[in-house]
Each structure stands twice: as C-alpha cells, then as structure tokens.
C-alpha cells in the first residue's frame, strides 16, 4: 500500500541545481523532498548528479593528478628537485578520484539530514500538476506517490550521442567512460574540442597519450574572446594537443582492438575525407536535456525544438506551480548557473524576491593554463553598438607568475567607453578559475575600471594582473608600456 505524502516542494534531481534548491527550500521552512534516480557502479544511490559523479568533480581530480605528474616529469628540475624514479599507477589515481566523489556525495546526504530534506531514491514522473509517482530503477515498478504544492524539475542533461560513432565496449566512450579508463591509451581520439574535450585531452596527454581532437566548427572556442582563444590554441598545441578544426566525423568502427575513423576536412581547401586509427575514441560533442520520461504531453509543460523545457525569467514553466532549473532549461549548461536558479526558485516559492543575473555567468575551461571569462566580448559589444575601452596585462610582467614559472596568458578588461563600467573580463592563465570570481563581483557591483584601479591589491599575487589591466584601460598601467 502506497503512503500518501503532502509536501510543499518536490525536487526532481539531486545534481547541483536540484540539491541546492532542496536545501534552500528546507532552510526557508518548506516541507521538502528530493527524488533522485542516480545509481553508482555498485547500484547504490549517489547524490550529486552528473557534476559530482561523472563530470565536474572526477574530471578535476584527474586533472590535478595528471598535472602533478606532468610537473614531476618536466618542471621539477628547474626548481632543483630531482627524482630518480617516476611512474604512473592509474588504479591508484582512479581510486583517489572515486574517494573524492564518494566523500562529496556523502556530504550532500549529510546536508540533507542537517536541513531536514527527505530523500527518495527512484525515478520520478509527474502525472498531474500536484502528483508525482516514484518508480524503482531496479524493478521498474511504481512504489510510491507524492502529493505536492510545488514541483522543481532538475533532471540535468546527458552526453549527445552520434549515429556515426556508436559507443562500443571500452573503445568508443562518452565523457563518463573517458573518466574510467584503466590504462593510458597510446593514441587517443576526441570528437569535439570544447571544454569537455580539452579537459579530457589534457588529462590523458599529460599521462602519455598522443591526443588528436577533431572539431567540426571552423573557430576554436567561439564563445571566448578571440585573442584569448588564439593564445589558448597555441598553448595547447605546444602541449601536444593536436587540434584539427573543420573536421567532421563521418564514421567510426572498432576492428582488431582499434578504433578506425573517417572524417571530412571541410576547411577552405576542402581536402575531403581522411582516415585515422586510435586505441580509444572519446565522444565529447555536447549534452542534451533529460526532459523525456519526466512528464507526459497531457500535462501541458512546453518544450522547444531541442527538448529544453520553456521557462520564464523566474524558471516557471507553462504550468504555474511547476518550475525547471539547470541543464534542462535555456542558457549555458553549467553547475553554478543551475545552483543559482535553484536558490532563486526556492526563494520565490517561499514568497521572497529573487533573480539570477544571466549576463554574468562565469565560464571556465580547466586546462593548464585555464581559460575563464564573464560578461561581454569585444565582438558582442561591437554587434550591440557599445563603444568600449580595453585594457590588458600579460602574466609575463607579473612577479608572482614569474616566481611560479607560470607566465603564459593575460587578463583583459572591457569597459564601457561612456560610463567606464566594466562589462567584460577575459583571462587565460594559471588559476584563472579563481581570478574570474573577483571579475564577476566587480561587474555585479557595477564597478568602473577606475574603481578597480583605485583598489589596493596584495603583492606579489596573480590578482595584481587584474589591477594592472584596469589601469591599462586608461593607459596608466605601471608594469608594462602603455
């Protein structure tokens, strides 16, 4: 016999959007339950969604391990550190990654308990505007039904699959499979040279793979600042990441324990079809929203042609008491964007005022150096008819960067020419993921380039580059020629 629950809020999904929404709802006094269907390789419930289980966190764990190995093999000697014997233990590396994931998933469970958020493991389906049925992942049978005043859909996204490259055993894998490789492939192919492809390519290249990235688009990192994208591509090429633009995959098949692919060179010279052979092939061509199976058409929740749930500025769907947040709605598929939407929706349900500033969503690519940006690019300003002033500062002129032997890259600040307000910041450097936070803060507080120039920064720090870039907007930089 099914138990009947009456909830203020049911959150579907426990990824960064869902679990944050659930916690904030509970903090605001709303009776909240979170339904999550994720099962780990042991068949156990594992909170945190894609980000924590097979995305942001495990990839950063492997990036850190592989970077340390690269430093030990090629950089320690310049610091006077010599190592007589050095090896790679992939099993230990993967074990450490798994422990990081486990610790954090358990952390979410502890936060749920501390905030009185109930958790149900199972697949949720909305069958009415106030009713959700819960289906067991193991038996595929309904085992519970929930009644609720509000619903928040946060079911995330999944890797896009290609018909011409069907996932095959351990040879053709998606981004999740790429995080589980138990040996270093001698030759690795990656379809897609976006954030996911570059990060995965960096991991395995540092550990010894010959990496080729095939990107169908003609431009490298088209969403980033053009100058920074060019700097990044040059840097990655030096790191033996073979990035081939205008390269469209035609076919891929596994024969004799190798992946044989055909791709078309669609560049200006139209070189036609080419062939390559790899030990492993990673498909990293983006993600799609998990909007199927969550509700039926009869419910009236509208979706667009790409299956994203349509929402207004408050993340409210076409059904008034049902909200959708995170990867399943418009905007960049980023964990922090989903989390902020979760907080906003929780506060709106509780009767408070809240909003998300979609103009200031920081983007980061965790390569080495890292690429990070927030706000507008120069091209976007030009298209919008905004006159700008631009300042930049290279890390080659940074004392801290030189002490770290990390002098690649720069900080670029874009300011409105009329108001002096900072409207875009673009960084290519070590720790750019940390530096971009102060850029978002300054823009959110509507700071001007002069405001930043008049602020005291500690010395020696990498963040001084932000200060100098702001000074450079008005041709007043101290440590470079204006």
Catalytic residues: 459
Strands 410-416 and 388-394 turn out to be antiparallel
Tell me, rounded to whole angstroms, the distance of Cα 127 from its chain centroid: 32
What Rg, from alpha-carbon coordinates, does the chain have? 24
Cα angle 406, 178, 202; round to 5: 15
Strands 118-121 and 32-36 turn out to be parallel
């Amino acid at each position: 016999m099914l138990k009947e629950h009456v909830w203020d809020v049911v959150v579907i999904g426990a990824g960064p959007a869902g679990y944050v929404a659930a916690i904030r709802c509970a903090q605001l006094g709303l009776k909240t339950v979170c339904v999550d269907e994720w099962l780990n390789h042991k068949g156990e419930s594992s909170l945190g969604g894609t980000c924590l289980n097979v995305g942001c966190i495990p990839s950063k764990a492997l990036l850190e391990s592989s970077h340390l190995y690269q430093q030990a093999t090629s950089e320690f000697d310049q610091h006077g550190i010599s190592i007589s014997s050095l090896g790679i233990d992939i099993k230990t590396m993967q074990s450490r990654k798994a422990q990081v994931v486990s610790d954090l998933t358990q952390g979410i469970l502890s936060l749920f308990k501390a905030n009185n958020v109930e958790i149900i493991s199972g697949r949720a389906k909305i069958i009415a505007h106030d009713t959700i049925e819960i289906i067991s992942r193991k038996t595929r049978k309904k085992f519970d039904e929930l009644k609720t005043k509000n619903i928040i859909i946060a079911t995330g996204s999944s890797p896009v699959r290609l018909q011409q490259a069907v996932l095959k055993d351990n040879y053709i894998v998606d981004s999740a499979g790429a995080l589980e490789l138990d040996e270093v492939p001698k030759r690795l192919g990656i379809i897609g040279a976006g954030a996911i492809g570059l990060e995965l390519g960096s991991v395995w290249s540092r550990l010894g793979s010959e990496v080729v990235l095939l990107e169908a688009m003609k431009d490298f990192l088209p969403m980033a600042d053009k100058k920074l994208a060019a700097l990044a591509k040059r840097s990655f090429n030096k790191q033996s990441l073979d990035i081939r633009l205008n390269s469209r995959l035609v076919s891929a098949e596994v024969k004799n324990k190798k992946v044989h692919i055909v791709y078309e060179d669609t560049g200006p010279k139209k070189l036609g079809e080419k062939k390559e052979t790899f030990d492993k092939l990673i498909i990293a061509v983006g993600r799609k929203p998990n909007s199927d199976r969550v509700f039926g058409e009869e419910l009236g929740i509208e979706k667009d042609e790409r299956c994203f749930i349509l929402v207004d500025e408050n993340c409210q769907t076409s059904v008034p008491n049902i909200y959708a947040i995170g990867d399943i709605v418009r905007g960049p598929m980023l964990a922090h964007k989903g989390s902020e939407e979760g907080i906003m929706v929780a506060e709106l349900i509780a009767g408070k005022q809240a909003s998300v500033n979609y103009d200031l969503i920081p983007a980061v690519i965790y390569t080495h150096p890292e690429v990070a940006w927030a706000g507008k690019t120069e091209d976007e300003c030009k298209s919008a008819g905004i006159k700008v002033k631009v300042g930049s500062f290279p890390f080659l002129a940074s004392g801290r960067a030189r002490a770290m032997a990390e002098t690649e890259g720069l900080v670029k600040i874009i300011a409105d020419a009329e108001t002096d307000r900072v409207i875009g910041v673009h960084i290519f450097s070590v720790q750019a993921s940390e530096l971009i936070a102060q850029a978002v803060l300054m823009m959110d507080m509507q700071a001007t380039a002069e405001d930043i120039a008049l602020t005291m920064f500690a010395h020696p720090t990498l963040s001084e580059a932000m200060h100098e870039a702001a000074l450079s907007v008005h041709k007043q930089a101290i440590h470079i020629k204006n």
